[in-house]
Amino acid sequence: MSLPSLSLPRLIGHRGAAAYAPENTLSSLREARRRGAPWVEFDVNLSADDVPLLMHDARLTRTTGLDQPVAATSWADIERLDAGAWMGAAFAGERVPSFEMAIAALAALGLGANVEIKPSPGREAEVARAVVAMLRRLWPAHLPTPLLSSFKDAALAAARDAAPELPRAILIDELQDDWQDRAAAVAAVGVNTNGGKLTAARAAAVKAAGYKLSVYTINDPALARDLVAMGVDCVITDAPDIIAAAIG
């Protein structure tokens, strides 16, 4: 199987622009564009009735106040929740967007995307298949090909099988000796890792093996510059304007 190609920007806004607007919301996507991000990263999970939606946590508690699992809550109930008030009164009334709504916003804003498959436990393949089905159906032709990433190798394997043409990146908090075996097993073309734990030796090994290397979540300008000097291709940040100014 030939691997898909991947072209990354130097910077991606994390969960939109999470330093400035509630993560994984349409406001955050708009703020990322306003602050100069060419791409955004966000998380996609499934509601109880299989609607793909933007949510990082397996439970709704932290960003909406409803102490309930995403996987046990219907989309009708989720879409009524306030996903912005936790960050301040200015964002009260911000909703949890569906993945379809997010794609429409990306099309209007001209933003590329790193779509993180963020499944509830036991739904790895299910969420992956739902994500790739919607991308195949709705992804705008004028935008760059999206990158799929996940901490769950089973989700990436399901994405590979369902849509081998979409590029994939393994998400690993700290690279261990098995990182390349894991990447090869899901036919990944990229490695996304914790920039605070990345060593120069590991960065060099990833690049020497031919992978695109992205780091998260980098909000310190000096660290961003150091990582770029190591050969990192893309910096994922909550504050795209600050990091863009640092790395040029």
Phi and psi at residue 201, to the nearest 5° = -65, -45
pLDDT value of position 57: 98
For 154, how many CA atoms within 13 A lie in the half-sphere containing its CB?
10
Task: Give the separation between CA 66 and CA 48, rounded to whole angstroms.
Answer: 15
pLDDT in tens, 24-83: 999 999 999 999 999 999 999 999 999 999 999 999 999 999 999 999 999 999 999 999
Task: Give the separation between CA 41 and CA 169, rounded to whole angstroms.
Answer: 12
Question: Is the per-residue pLDDT at 152 higher than 70?
Answer: yes
Using left for φ > 0, alpha for ψ between -120 and 50, and beta otherwise, residue 8 falls in beta
Measure CA 23 to chain center.
11
* Average pLDDT over the chain, rounded to an integer: 98
3-state SS assignment for residue 75: helix
pLDDT band at 15 (very low <50, low <70, confident <90, very high): very high
pTM over the 0.95 mark: yes
88 contact partners, CB below 8 Å, separation of at least 6? none
- Across 142-159, average pLDDT: 98
Residues noted as catalytic: 14, 56
pLDDT value of position 1: 63
